[in-house]
C-alpha cells in the first residue's frame, strides 16, 4: 500500500485554469490519477482536459466526493485556498505554489492541524506512488515518470523536488522500486516533514526502507534522529546530505530558502553526527545509496 494517497484517491485542483496547473493536471490524468474537478473563481462551466471547473471548493464537493486537493495559485492567494479546502473537510493538501509569505504558511498550517488535515508543501513538486497516483508536478510528463519511477518497497522523502526524481531514477536503474515518493518542500516552514512522514513509512507494511535527501539548514534532521531513538524506529533509513560546503559559508542561502546555516545550527556535519548516533545510514556519495540499501533490505 502507499502512504497518503493511492489509486482510489479523488483529487481536485485549485487554480486549475492557470497555465502551470493545466499542464500538470494533464500529466496527472495521463498517469491515471482521479482528478474529478477543478476550482477557479469566475471560471465555472469551463473544462480543462475534460475536468469540470467550479467557482468554489464547496461547489465542486456538491458534485464530486474528494479526498485531496492540489493547490497552484498565486502566493498571496494560497492561504485563502488552503483555508477553503480545510473548511470543506479535505484532509490532504498538496501546495505546489512558491514564495508563499511565511506568516500565511504558519496561519494555514495551524488551521489544517485543527481540522486534522495534512499539508505537503508549500513549494513542493508533490507526491508519486509508482503506477498508482501522482499529485502535483513530481516527475513531469507521464513518459518521464514511467522511466524514473517503478513500484517497489523503498520510500523517498526529499527536501528537493527534483532530487526526488533523481533518487527514484537511481533506484529504478539498479532494479529497486519505490512505494511512495514525496517532496516535502524547500521552504523554511512546510507542512509535513521527515518527522511526520517517517512514522507513516514505518507503519506501511509495503515500505522496507526509506531514502532521505537532506540539505544544510534547519533542524529537522537532528530532530528526526531524536525521534528514531525515542520511538525505537527500526525501519532502515538511508540519508544523503547534499551541500556540505555550506557549513563553511554561514548565513548564505543556496537554492532553497531553507538551505541556510546560522552559526552551529543546521550544519551538514551536525546532521551527519546526529544520524549516525541514531543508527541512520549516511551515504557519503549519491551512488552509495544503492549499496547501503542492498545491504539492509
Catalytic residues: 256
φ, ψ for residue 108 (rounded to 5)? -75, -25
Q: For residues 57 and 37, what is the distance between their CA atoms, to the nearest angstrom?
A: 9
Q: Map residue 210 onto helix, strand or coil.
A: strand
Give 3-state DSSP helix, strand, coil % of the chain, rounded to 5: 40, 20, 40
Beta bridge partners of 39: 14, 54
Q: For residues 57 and 61, what is the distance between their CA atoms, to the nearest angstrom?
A: 6
Q: For residues 157 and 143, what is the distance between their CA atoms, to the nearest angstrom?
A: 22
Q: For residues 131 and 147, what is the distance between their CA atoms, to the nearest angstrom?
A: 11
Amino acid at each position: 500500500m502507499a502512504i497518503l494517497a493511492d489509486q482510489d484517491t479523488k483529487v481536485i485542483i485549485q487554480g486549475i485554469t492557470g497555465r502551470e496547473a493545466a499542464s500538470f493536471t494533464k500529466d496527472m490524468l495521463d498517469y491515471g490519477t482521479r482528478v474529478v474537478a477543478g476550482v477557479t473563481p469566475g471560471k465555472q462551466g469551463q473544462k480543462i482536459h475534460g475536468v469540470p471547473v467550479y467557482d468554489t471548493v464547496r461547489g465542486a464537493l456538491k458534485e464530486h466526493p474528494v479526498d485531496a486537493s492540489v493547490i497552484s495559485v498565486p502566493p498571496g492567494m494560497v492561504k485563502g485556498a488552503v483555508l477553503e479546502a480545510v473548511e470543506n473537510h479535505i484532509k490532504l493538501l498538496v501546495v505546489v505554489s512558491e514564495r508563499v509569505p511565511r506568516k500565511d504558511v504558519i496561519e494555514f498550517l495551524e488551521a489544517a492541524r485543527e481540522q486534522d488535515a495534512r499539508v505537503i508543501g508549500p513549494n513542493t513538486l508533490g507526491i508519486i506512488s509508482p503506477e498508482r497516483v501522482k499529485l502535483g508536478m513530481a516527475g513531469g510528463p507521464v513518459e518521464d515518470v514511467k522511466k524514473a519511477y517503478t513500484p517497489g518497497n523503498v520510500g523517498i522523502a526529499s527536501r528537493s523536488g527534483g532530487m526526488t526524481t533523481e533518487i527514484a531514477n537511481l533506484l529504478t536503474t539498479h532494479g529497486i522500486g519505490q512505494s511512495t515518493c514525496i517532496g516535502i518542500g524547500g521552504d523554511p516552514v512546510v507542512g509535513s516533514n521527515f518527522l511526520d512522514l517517517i512514522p507513516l513509512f514505518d507503519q506501511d507494511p509495503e515500505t522496507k526502507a526509506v531514502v532521505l535527501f537532506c540539505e544544510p539548514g534547519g533542524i529537522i534532521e537532528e530532530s528526526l534522529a531524536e525521534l528514531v531513538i525515542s520511538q525505537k524506529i527500526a525501519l532502515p533509513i538511508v540519508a544523503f546530505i547534499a551541500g556540505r560546503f555550506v557549513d563553511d559559508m554561514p548565513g548564505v542561502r543556496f537554492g532553497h530558502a531553507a538551505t541556510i546555516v546560522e552559526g552551529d545550527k543546521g550544519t551538514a556535519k551536525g546532521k551527519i553526527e546526529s544520524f549516525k548516533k541514531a543508527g541512520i545510514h549516511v551515504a557519503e556519495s549519491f551512488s552509495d545509496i544503492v549499496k547501503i540499501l542492498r545491504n539492509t533490505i
